[in-house]
Amino acid sequence: MDTDQLHYLNSRLKGMALEEALPFVLENIAGKKVFSTSFGIEDQLLTHYIHPYAGFVSAFTLDTGRQFNETYEVFQKTHDKYPSLKIKTFFPDEKDIREYVAKDGINGFYNSIESRKECCRIRKVVPLKKALEGAGLWITGLRAEQSANRETMEYLEWDDANQLVKYNPLLHHTLEEVEELVKRHKIPLSTLYAKGYLSVGCAPCTRAISKGEDFRAGRWWWEGGKKECGLHIHAEKNY
């Protein structure tokens, strides 16, 4: 999809309600549509709105092998509430995990940023590539206020690394707006959320955050700088 088309579609999406925007995008973007969920509050809200389109959107999650048990619990609750949306699980390659542990140790990601990024690559980025194969549209739960890196994003962006269009329906929703919609629709949440886990990844790499901390301060908290794992690489756009 070229820049002019994306610019036009983004201009149409501004001010459009979520329940209108989703079918609009599904109709205007060609190819296979996929939705990724990690069962955080944003993804849970999107699951609620996407499940009526289960025949047109494939849902998936990445199981890194180091998840919180609470993540599996909300996975089951989500399956029970939205049975029409079959969420496929993608796992890391067992050989890659064995080689990483042999070289860096079971928790080697604490030792260096390079080791942590390699762990993320094996457990997340490589399985994601498999999950996105053949897709033309990737629906995500990214929001602008989650990090400075995401503030310049658009609703629809060309993802050059994965050669598809990425759609961020909740980009300009505030956390308060997301929470209100989740409460209104009685959408299941991980019990970790009420304990201050606003962004949940692998158990060894996630902690609760305190009031006033950045949304992603609890991810890889022992590191400084930007808090991204490589799933959402964002390049500045000129449109």
DSSP codes joined into one string, the chain: --HHHHHHHHHHHTT--HHHHHHHHHHHS-SEEEEE---SHHHHHHHHHHGGGTTTEEEEEE--S---HHHHHHHHHHHHH-TTS-EEEE---HHHHHHHHHHH-TTGGGT-HHHHHHHHIIIIIHHHHHHTTTEEEEE----GGG-GGGTT--SEEEETTTTEEEE-TTTT--HHHHHHHHHHTT----TTGGGT-SS---GGGB----TTS-TTTTBSTTS-S----SSS-------
The reply to whether 229 belongs to the active site is yes
**Active-site pick, 119, 120, 205, 229:** 229
Indicate which residues carry an active-site annotation: 229
